[in-house]
Amino acid sequence: MFMFGIYSGLRISDILKFRVRDVRDKHYLMIREQKTKKEKKFAMNDELIPIIDEYIEDKKDYEYLFKSRQGKNEPITRQQAYNILKEAAAAFGLMAIGTHTLRKTFGYHMYQQTKDIVTIKEILNHSDISITLRYIGINQDIKDSTMKRLSFKPTKKK
């Protein structure tokens, strides 16, 4: 679930709707986003494909990717996804983790690698670039960097 989230940039509510048949032998995924109701088609990342292939190897096509142990074939809940992520994060000594962390991590790292904020805005379905910058924490990084560069020491003349 963590890998699916950081490689897709999807909201957890959309990740939990996927069934095995939606990802098996696929290089593109289709989804109607729950929040925006917009249809979205996106390429599966080449690093994610083998991770998913191994994960679904012994699963049936009709099963949810992240299936609940309660009842018949139902996905885990948002709350259970949060609990799983919190527990995994705690094992690594991380505290400020939630279901949105996956999506933010995707956006932040994509920005660090590409600097293409316009495409990231489109992928995350934000209405404005300023929202995307704030969402992925770039504004904070810029403010921190600017504050650290401030100096009142006299500069040496050469």
Quick check: helix, strand or coil at residue 23? helix
| CA separation, residue 68 to residues 3, 65, 128, 146 (Å) | 18, 10, 36, 46
Mean pLDDT over 69-74 rounds to 86
Q: What is the pLDDT of residue 128?
A: 95
Catalytic (active site) residue 19: no
* Alpha carbons 30 and 69: distance in angstroms, whole number: 26
The length of the chain is: 158
Catalytic (active site) residue 62: no
Q: What is the pLDDT of residue 158?
A: 66
Catalytic (active site) residue 35: yes
Catalytic (active site) residue 32: no
- Pull the structure tokens for residue 29: 């995924």
Mean pLDDT over 76-88 rounds to 94
Give the active site residue among 7, 19, 67, 103.
Answer: 103
Catalytic (active site) residue 27: no
Give the active site residue among 19, 67, 121, 126.
Answer: 126
Q: What is the DSSP letter of 135?
A: H
Give the active site residue among 11, 19, 67, 121.
Answer: 11
pLDDT category of residue 64 using cuts at 50, 70 and 90: very high
Q: What is the pLDDT of residue 54?
A: 97
Looking at domain 2-144, its CATH architecture is: Orthogonal Bundle (1.10)
Give the active site residue among 78, 86, 100, 104.
Answer: 100
Catalytic (active site) residue 11: yes
Mean pLDDT over 51-66 rounds to 96
* Alpha carbons 91 and 104: distance in angstroms, whole number: 20
